[in-house]
Amino acid sequence: MSGQMTGIPILSILVALPLIAGIVALFLSASGARWLALVTTLVSFALGVWLWSAYDPGGSQWQFVEHYALGGGIAWAMGIDGIALMLIMLTLFLMPICIGASWRAIEKRVPEYMASFLMMQALMIGVFTAQDLLLFYIFFEGGLIPMYLIIGIWGGAERIKASYKFFLYTLAGSVLMLIAMLAMILTAGTTSIPALMAYDFAPSLQWWLWLAFFASFAVKMPMWPVHTWLPDAHVQAPTAGSVILAGVLLKMGGYGFIRFSLPMFPEASAEFIPFVYVLSGIAVVVTSLIALAQHDMKKLIAYSSVAHMAFVTFGLFAFNRQGIEGAMIVMLSHGLVSGALFLCVGVIYDRLHTREISRYGGLSDNMPKYALLFMVFTMASVGLPGTSGFVGEFLSLVGLYAVSTWAAVVATTGIILGAAYMLYLYWRICYGKLVHADAAAMKDLSGREMWLLAPIAAVVFWMGVYPESFLRPMRADVGRLLERIDRAKPAGDSHLTAGKPAPATPAHAEAH
């Protein structure tokens, strides 16, 4: 509201600022590029904090709206609701941390690297702010390019293979999505996302459109069985690349479901619930078991991401408030926690240059600060109450149970398996004796590393103890979504019958 009144195109500024800084960075020295990137991301974050404070949770659905027709079909249309706001905040919060994480780890082609990150920030903000279908598409697919470069140029030994796999998967999905978008534009006669969210497509058409969008979002999420690009991409990506990949890029799939699939194709979404639940259930069980068998730290956390993102799809397709709000909190929490876990991996990778779990062990002795923070994020990952992980998982499972007890039983096994693989990892890294001399020689967290991890820990606790700060901005928008999808809402499988309290039954009386 206030944003509109002041008339500052804050969303465009948030997109343009890193874009311009990225171009400037290309012409600077390595250290100049680092500082420019850090300052830009910090200023963006400050603008984000202002955006959050200016956002009115009880106000109109779309705030900070901007609209400039570009001619033809496309418009530079921007605006956010509470859901987008939270994901923007996540992005802006993680970006300075990513720059900080790359401060010493990246030594070659630093200006290009920083430019890629700044470019990616611009595109990701664009994804969450775009109100025009085609604008959204450009941001959505364009965001892959910097990520692709980051893996392909600054990645590990098998970076080409990994970036190729990443490219192939995502491209396959996006082609289908583009075709679906064209069909939507032709049918509805508009490219405006808010208009399309209120447009009722014929159920038969919805079916095809839903599948086409699903192809793209399921890959981004990622859902089983189109997840196999993720472990490779994470393993090969530099630390900051993994952080942003897990932290924000994976959230674009969930955002897509919540912005497109559910409100635009409610009937089809309801029809595909069993399909989504089966894939999500397999993801929880299978990828958790795979995580248990990993020897590579990054792969383990990558697989755990797949399992966690299944809680998002479970929650979203529960068609109720707890499920959808839970899914959103899982996304935010996973963005923080898995980002932090990849940073934790990066901290020791930078020192020993191996991701092999067995090369570590006993780090509690020589790296107590590290062990403490790693424990905090491990517990947040297993969903310990008091951390952000619990609030999201709990809400989405509450929502899920109301629709399908079967699915809830399968999904809830995730809390057992999650504890098993994460604590087994923690044991092998931090507990035991320092058996390897090189691991024993590693120093504890530096001041810079503390500044990367401690703020995330603080937000993890904040979201775990007082999630209301994060739920409040989204409440009205989830309500609008619920109104929209209410007509397709599935009946639960609990079939509760009324009690017959009446006089105490003979069996009951006899018990005393």
Partner 1 sequence: MHPVIFIVFLPLLAAIIAGLGGRVIGKTASKVVTTGSLFIGAALSWPIFFSYLGGHAEPQVIPVLEFIKSGALDVDWALRVDALTAVMLVVVTTVSSLVHLYSWGYMEEDPSQPRFFAYLSLFSFAMLMLVTADSLVQMFFGWEGVGLASYLLIGFWYHKPSANAAALKAFVVNRVGDFGFSLGIFGTFLVFGTVSIPAILAAAPSMAGSTIHFAGMTVETMTLLCLLLFVGAMGKSAQLGLHTWLPDAMEGPTPVSALIHAATMVTAGVFMVCRLSPMFEVSPTALTVVTYVGAATAIFAATVGTVQNDIKRVIAYSTCSQLGYMFFAAGVGAYGAAMFHLFTHAFFKALLFLGAGSVIHAMHHEQDMRYYGGLRKEIPITFWTMIAGTLAITGVGLFGVGFAGYHSKDAIIESAFASGTVHGTIAYAVGIGAALLTSFYSWRLIFLTFYGKPRWAGSEHIQHAVHHVHEDAGEMASDHDSAQDHGVPKVEGTAGYHPHESPWVILAPLVLLSLGAVFAGFLFNGAFIQPEGGPEFWRGSVAFSEHLAHAMHEVPAWVKWSPFVVMLIGLAIAYRNYIAKPDAPAAFVAMFPGIHKFLMHKWYFDELYDIIFVRPAMALGRFFWKRGDEQTIDRFGPHGAAYAVDVGNRITTRLQSGYVYSYALVMLLGLIGAATWVFWWVR
Region for 7 from its dihedrals, namely left if φ exceeds 0, alpha if ψ lies in -120 to 50, beta otherwise: left
User: Which one of residues 45, 55, 169, 217 is an interface residue with partner 1 (CB under 8 A)?
Assistant: 169
Distances (CA, A) of 270 to 188, 275, 318: 21, 10, 9
How far apart are alpha carbons 470 and 332 in whole angstroms? 9
Q: Is 117 in the site for partner 1 (CB under 8 A)?
A: no
Q: Is 507 in the site for partner 1 (CB under 8 A)?
A: yes
Q: Is 183 in the site for partner 1 (CB under 8 A)?
A: no
Residue 46 or 179: which CB sits closer to partner 1? 179
Binding mask 29-68 for partner 1 (x = CB under 8 A): ----------------------------------------
Q: Is 311 in the site for partner 1 (CB under 8 A)?
A: no
How far apart are alpha carbons 31 and 353 in whole angstroms? 23
Binding mask 232-271 for partner 1 (x = CB under 8 A): ----------------------------------------
Residue 92 or 411: which CB sits closer to partner 1? 411
- Minimum Å distance from CB 425 to partner 1? 11
Enter the tokens of residue 78: 């921007």
Contact 429, 361 (CB under 8 A): yes
Q: Is 468 in the site for partner 1 (CB under 8 A)?
A: yes
- Minimum Å distance from CB 31 to partner 1? 26
Q: Is 493 in the site for partner 1 (CB under 8 A)?
A: yes
Sign of the CA dihedral 54, 60, 63, 66? negative
In 283-404, alpha helices (H)? 288-292, 297-316, 321-352, 363-366, 368-381, 388-403
Scored b (16 or more CB within 10 A) or e, 423-457 reads bbbbebbbeeebeeeebeebeebeeebeebbeebb
Find residue 80's DSSP bridge partners: 63
Quick count: other Cβ atoms within 10 Å of Cβ 6?
Answer: 11
User: Which one of residues 153, 352, 440, 476 is an interface residue with partner 1 (CB under 8 A)?
Assistant: 153
- Minimum Å distance from CB 407 to partner 1? 9
Contact 341, 426 (CB under 8 A): no
Residue 361, SS3 per DSSP: coil
How far apart are alpha carbons 258 and 324 in whole angstroms? 8
Sign of the CA dihedral 172, 286, 322, 245? negative
Q: Which stretch binds partner 1 (CB under 8 A): 41-49, 122-130, 158-166, 240-248?
A: 158-166
Q: Is 291 in the site for partner 1 (CB under 8 A)?
A: yes
User: Which one of residues 89, 149, 244, 357 is an interface residue with partner 1 (CB under 8 A)?
Assistant: 149
Q: Is 446 in the site for partner 1 (CB under 8 A)?
A: no
- Minimum Å distance from CB 42 to partner 1? 26
- Minimum Å distance from CB 6 to partner 1? 31
User: Which one of residues 16, 46, 160, 458 is an interface residue with partner 1 (CB under 8 A)?
Assistant: 160
- The residues in 340-379 that bind partner 1, with binding defined as CB under 8 A, are 362, 364, 372, 379
Q: Is 188 in the site for partner 1 (CB under 8 A)?
A: no
Distances (CA, A) of 272 to 214, 265, 278, 313, 490: 10, 11, 10, 12, 11
Q: Which stretch binds partner 1 (CB under 8 A): 2-10, 37-45, 166-174, 256-264?
A: 166-174
- Minimum Å distance from CB 54 to partner 1? 23
| Residue 431 DSSP one-character state | S
The packing angle between helices 297-316 and 388-403, to 10°, is: 40
User: Which one of residues 93, 130, 165, 452 is an interface residue with partner 1 (CB under 8 A)?
Assistant: 165
Q: Which stretch binds partner 1 (CB under 8 A): 91-99, 332-340, 444-452, 488-496?
A: 488-496
- The residues in 198-217 that bind partner 1, with binding defined as CB under 8 A, are none
Q: Is 327 in the site for partner 1 (CB under 8 A)?
A: no
Quick count: other Cβ atoms within 10 Å of Cβ 466?
Answer: 11
Find residue 77's DSSP bridge partners: 67
How far apart are alpha carbons 385 and 415 in whole angstroms? 12
- Minimum Å distance from CB 436 to partner 1? 15
- Minimum Å distance from CB 462 to partner 1? 12
Enter the tokens of residue 196: 């399309």
Residue 52 or 424: which CB sits closer to partner 1? 424
